[in-house]
Structure 1
Amino acid sequence: MFVYPQSESIPVGIVIRKSPGVTRWAKWAWQAIGVLPGAGPADWKILRHEEGVTEYHAATRDLTLYVSDAEAYVHELGTRQPSVYVVMRRDGVTDDTPLNVVLITASPYEAQDYEDSGEEVVEKVPMPVGMLAWVRDFVERHYEEEVFVKRRRDKNRVDGKEDGIGDPRIAQPSDVYRAPTGKKEAAQ
């Protein structure tokens, strides 16, 4: 485990499954199905192959927890099945390895940011028990819930008129809020 100021990291292996596609347009279906906490480096190492389905240890990336994202981790830990998110791209890869693993995160907010772009593939993978304990311990040490403080309204009135702007009873050489009504105003 690596410790940086305001963060903690562990290496995590990403397991990707290649299975036959279900349509004629997609020969193969690729899906992140698991993680291996504490894994060593890997580059599409075959873990298992049977009946046309192959599972790879595709890559190892650091899962970094930041103190500033502790609220996001609390949100994820409160879900029915706490998970990590694997972010992958389809750029610069071959047919044998069509996905490039970009990162792994425990923050659902960060994962949502990547999903919004539409350029990355984001897969939700259940957290193993050991990783769940590590994230929960991190949250207990660093998360401080912000106390809600209701704002009090100022007593100043801001709904008054501004010196006749837009008031048809007051003749003005120019009024940006009123369209010209006659030749006299149009000539000025």
Structure 2
Amino acid sequence: MPAPRVVAVSRSPRHAFSKTGEDAIRLLPGLGVEGDAHAGATVQHRSRVAVDPTRPNLRQVHLIHAELHAELATAGFAVAYGELGENITTTGIDLLALPTGTRLRIGDAEIEVTGLRNPCAQIEQFRQGLLAQVVYRDAQGQLVRKAGVMGVVLAGGIIRPGDNIEAVLPPLPHRALERV
């Protein structure tokens, strides 16, 4: 597996499903990606704002592994980086296997992984049949979510494609990621 690194960065000032690729993004501590509609100390996703707009934003930054894009392409879904709504596309790191509280150091920035992204019906509007590729039940009946992880910004900084990623695991016992 290649060394963990960033392959693409994206953001969108609008609450749109997909985000636009950028040369670099700036992370703001406690807020998220500068200029992104989902940045903020409290929840920014419209469905969550409708329930309780005062809850903390545990979804400031969305990360997806490029390996998922390759897997989707094999299944017949050509999806460009950022089109699934991620801010940071990675390679060489199994994001879905990280425990809750893992810290990802990327350049000067640091992100704490808070949980799994729970994709919604918007993914079906983007590409019909895609939801079944990223959320399904395995042979044991367990729900599998593969649409990336969410995190909060602990330390700000600029992130660019090519930046290395260092994962710092939290103290034991580790807690498996759950949807946030």
Question: TM-score, with normalisation over the residues of structure 2?
Answer: 0.24
Structure with the higher helix share, 1 or 2: 1
Structure number with greater Rg is: 1
TM-score, with structure 1 as normaliser: 0.23
